[in-house]
Structure 1
Amino acid sequence: MAFSDELLEEGTDIWNAQFEHPFVTELATGELDPEAFRHWVEQDYRYLLDYARVFALGATKARDEATMTHMMDVAHTILDFEMDLHREFAVDYGISVDDLESVEKAPTCVAYTNFLVRTAHEGSIAEIAAAIYPCGQGYLDVAEHMAELAEGEHRYTPFIEKYTSEKFEEAVAWMTELVDRCGEQFPGESEAMREAFRSSARLEHAFWEMCYTHEEWEV
């Protein structure tokens, strides 16, 4: 069994929890509260800035030119391609780019991005690969689940289409290959990879909850 499959099998409980989360199921049917989606647009925009930084930092840990080059390319793609969707949604909600960039991260967003950036600074390329994997594979799997639940087009259809697109599938396939390659090349880091994967997966689930409940700082 490929190492990525081992991680996904161990994370089945978290994946099922994501599939069943009301943010996911209500977005799929178009019934999600627009304010919850607005919270996702704002918080995920801030998240992606750090996610791009993680790939850029990961490039410095890569041991081969191809991986280094690809991780730098991914950082650019996140800032250019993926964040375009957030900017487009922001226009629909009357949010300017300046407003997006000044949004304060909610506690869960802080926890998730801090974990990823710390892993990128302190961890190996293997740990980084495992830490970024739940976001890529998770969004693909969740979006495919949404597509199965959806009946016709609605205001959130562009979200589903974005994360089930061929371009996104190709991006996730590369992340899967990186996880498998690291699992094979660095068997001594398998436990660290499992821990990084599970931490990120749990935070992915917490991110849906954060958006659904409009989480903010209490004080």
Structure 2
Amino acid sequence: MEFCEKVRQETQFYWEASFNHPFVQGIADGSLPLEKFKFYMLQDAYYLKHYTKVLALAAAKATNDEDIQYFLNSARFIHEAELELHRTTFQDLNVTAEEIENFEVAPATYNYVSHMYNAVHNGDVAEAFAAILPCPWLYQEIGQQLKYARPNIPLYAQWIALYASDEMLQSINKQKSMLNRFAKEQPMKQKVLKAHFEKSCYYEWMFWEMPWTMQNWTKGVYMNEPTKN
């Protein structure tokens, strides 16, 4: 069994928790309040900005030209394409300049980004990649699961279409083959790679809970944590 298949099976709980989360299901049926989606998009823009930087740092640690080019091209793609989507979506959601200026990163977003930076700064390129792969892989699987959904909100239909595309599937297949190669090259490190991968799967789950609860630093970091007095 290849490394990616193995860790995917071993983290199934977190994937199912994401698939079944009311935030994701609310996108599918159009019932998600736009205010929650707006909160999510603001946090996601922050996440993607730092995801791009982690890709660039991974490029600096890569040891062959093909991997260096992959990480640099991926960073450029996310910066130019996905962040452009956020800018246009911000207009549709009526995000104001004041809201952007007063943006505060939520605990779940902060923790997730910190986890990725830890992997890339304190580990090698394989560790960095194990920490960042769950995000696009999960979104691709969500896109496939929701591709026949017909939400009555254009923003949600656009979101689903982005991640259900054939291009997204091809990209994920390439990324899985890369992580499998990294794992084969360093078999003694597979336990560490799995730990990074698993933490990111958990943080993906929390990334849905965060906008669902409109999480901030007074509401607690985890699900069901009581609000602080």
Name the structure 1 match of 2:43: 43
Q: Is the 8 A contact 2:150 2:157 kept in 1?
A: no
- Distance in 1, matches of 2:139 and 2:70, equals 20
Residue 6 of structure 2 is aligned to residue 25 of structure 1: no
| SS of aligned partner of 1:18 | helix
Match of 1:211 in 2: 211
- The AA in structure 1 aligned to 2:211 is C
Contact 2:58-2:120 within 8 A present in 1 as well: yes
Q: What do residues 17-49 of structure 1 show as CA deviations (whole Å, max 9, x unaligned)?
A: 111100011111111111110011100000000
Letter of the 2:85 counterpart: L
Tell me what 1:86 maps to: 86
Q: Is the CA contact 2:3–2:180 (under 8 Å) kept in the aligned structure 1?
A: yes
Structure 1: unaligned runs, 5 residues or longer: none
* TM-score normalised by L of structure 1: 0.94
Deviation at 1:164, TM superposition (A): 1.3
Other-structure match for 1:163: 163
More helix by share: 1
Cα deviation digits, residues 105-140 of structure 1 (max 9, x gap):
101100000110121111111111111111011111
Provide the secondary structure at the position in 2 that maps to 1:190: helix
Structure 1's consecutive aligned runs of 4 or more residues displaced over 4 angstroms after TM superposition are: 96-99
Q: TM-score, normalised by structure 2?
A: 0.90
Which residue of 2 is the match for residue 176 of structure 1? 176
C-alpha displacement of 1:142 = 1.4
1:41 & 1:151 partners in 2: Cα distance?
A: 20
Cα distance change, pair 101–83 in 1 and its aligned pair in 2 (3 A): farther
CA distance in 2, matches of 1:121, 1:93: 35
Contact 1:57–1:120 (Cα < 8 Å) also in 2: yes
Give the 3 Å change call, closer, same or farther, for CA 24–174 of structure 1 in structure 2: same
Give percent identity, aligned residues only: 29
Gaps of 5+ in 2: 219-227
Counterpart residue number, 2:105: 105
Q: How large is the Cα RMSD of the aligned pairs? A: 1.7
How far is the alpha carbon of 1:174 from its aligned partner? 2.2
Deviations, residues 175-206 of structure 1 (Å, cap 9, x unaligned): 21111111111101100000000000000000
Per-residue CA deviation, residues 46-104 of structure 1 (Å, 9 max, x unaligned), is 00000001100001111111101110110111110111221111001122578547521
Contact kept? 1:136, 1:175, Cα under 8 Å = no
- Secondary structure of the 2:147 match is helix
Q: What is the alpha-carbon distance in structure 1 between the residues aligned to residue 83 and residue 166 of structure 2?
A: 17
Preserved contact between residue 126 and residue 189 of structure 1 (Cα < 8 Å)? no
Taking a change above 3 Å as real, the CA distance of residues 164 and 203 of structure 1, as seen in their structure-2 partners, is same
Q: State the one-letter code of the partner of 1:154.
A: I
| 1:129 paired to 2:110 | no
